Amino acid sequence: MATETWEWGWQWRAACRGEDAGLFFPPSRFEPKAERIVREGKAKIICAVCPVRMECLEYAVRTREIHGVWGGLNEAERRALLRDRPLDLRLVD
Ligand code: SF4
């Protein structure tokens, strides 16, 4: 999810610019699983056509973003990605 600080050039081309950030991040209240799946599904539809998806995912993995949908993956999916990477790649930041 592109933040509002715009410190990375790729964010200017993000498909989520102007979209509801609430699709990409969980609410501050408890979110039932069914609601989370629908919310994340809507976010992932936007990510699927995003021209900077790989840049976004790489950023989120490198900075260990713990919340939200980035690069089309939610928190658990990014953790699984990190867990499944070879050890030498986990050490590269
Ligand atoms: S991949 Fe998704 S979260 Fe990342 S910039 Fe694109 S639309 Fe936003």
- Return the percentage of the chain with pLDDT > 90, whole number: 77
Integer Cα distance of 59 and 34 in angstroms: 28
Is the separation of the CB atoms in 46 and 19 below 8 Å? yes
Count the domains in the chain.
1
Which of 23, 53, 74 most suits a substitution to test ligand 1, by most atoms within 8 Å of the C-beta?
53
What are 54-78's pLDDT values in tens digits? 999 999 999 999 999 999 999 999 9
- Which pLDDT value is given to residue 8? 64
Atom of ligand 1 nearest to the CA of 15: 7
Give the domain extent around 8: 2-90
Q: How far is the C-alpha of 48 from the C-alpha of 37, rounded, in Å?
A: 16
Of the listed ranges 3-7, 20-24, 42-46, the least confidently predicted one is: 3-7
